[in-house]
Amino acid sequence: MSNHKALNMFGRSGNPALKADTCSQSARGTSSSGGIQSMDSATMTLQGTVNKTGILLALVVLSATYTWNLFFEGGAGAVMPIAIGGAIVGFIFALITIFKKQWAGTTAPIYALAEGLFLGAISGIFEAQYPGIVIQAVGLTLGTLASLLFLYKTGIVKPTENFRLMITSATMGIALLYLVSMAMNMFGSGGIGFIHSNGLFGIGFSLFVVAIAALNLVLDFDFIEQGSEMGAPKYMEWFGAFSLMVTLIWLYLEMLRLLAKLRSR
């Protein structure tokens, strides 16, 4: 299959088209016995995706540092417009990246910078209320990332179609709950109480959300692994790194909420 044909296929599909007949494309760059990928061509590689994840992580930290410092110098009033702006811009660029994967090389770094502005402000607010909570949330988030990567690479956790159905449904369910709660808040009815409560059910709900966010990482790893196996186009490295960042940012925010609930008891 020609490279041009493979690009067309990826362009058409809602998901990356990782069909068996694209394998021949990737044969040049994949080692058959689990070695390090060192291919330097126009197809997606594991090394490339890891490097791009590192770049996006650095961008998030860079812009988060700015709003973090701004919060501790000027207070919540000084930082909130930038945080809200960052969240909105991040959301818009996330949508653009999802629907225009080819642009991921440009849109994913902008998404990371915008989300960093939001995360820095939110982290500052939590840190002011519960000192030491941010480093705990960062440690637990990155610890989960490394643990699940190990479990995935060794084959202890094996994602299947049913696993994908379960995790996607649970993620959609959580998104629905948050949307309903936000809508209820906007109309002044106080939202869904248990989502924010620090009671047993509230903490149980947060634990459930953290578990689902963490299991989404496994789906991201499988997507990246198969993308590089099948010789997906180079821009899919940015897209893979972007999907990993979306999950990591969600996981970090849920960790913060869970730890805050535990500390407020």
Q: Are 248 and 193 in contact (CB under 8 A)?
A: no
> Rg for the chain (alpha carbons), in Å?
20
> Token digits for 186?
């906007």
Nearer to another protein, 117 or 157 (CB): 157
Q: To the nearest whole angstrom, how small is the minimum distance from the Cβ of residue 41 to another protein?
A: 16
Contact positions vs another protein (CB under 8 A): 13, 15-19, 30-31, 33-37, 46-47, 49-50, 53-54, 132, 135-136, 138-140, 142-143, 145-147, 149-150, 152-155, 158-161, 163-166, 168-174, 176-177, 194, 200-201, 205, 219, 221-223, 225-227, 229
Nearer to another protein, 38 or 74 (CB): 38
By beta-carbon proximity to another protein, the closer residue of 80 and 149 is 149
Tokens standing for residue 254: 């849920």
Least spacing, CB of residue 175 vs another protein, in Å: 8
8 A C-beta contact, residue 230 and residue 15: no
Find residue 204's DSSP bridge partners: none
Report in angstroms how near the CB of residue 230 gets to another protein at its nearest: 9
Distance CA 14, CA 239 (A): 13
Q: Which is nearer to another protein, 74 or 199 (CB)?
A: 199
Both tokens assigned to 263: 């500390």
Q: How far apart are CA 250 and CA 60, in angstroms?
A: 13
- Residues with Cβ within 8 Å of 145's Cβ and at least 6 positions away in sequence, in order, are 217, 248, 251
Nearest distance, CB of residue 143 and another protein, angstroms: 5
Closer to another protein by Cβ: residue 68 or 82: 68
Neighbours of 216 (CB within 10 A): 22
Between 88 and 176, whose beta carbon lies closer to another protein? 176
CA–CA gap between residue 47 and residue 257 (Å, rounded): 33
Backbone angles phi, psi at 153, to 5 degrees: -60, -35
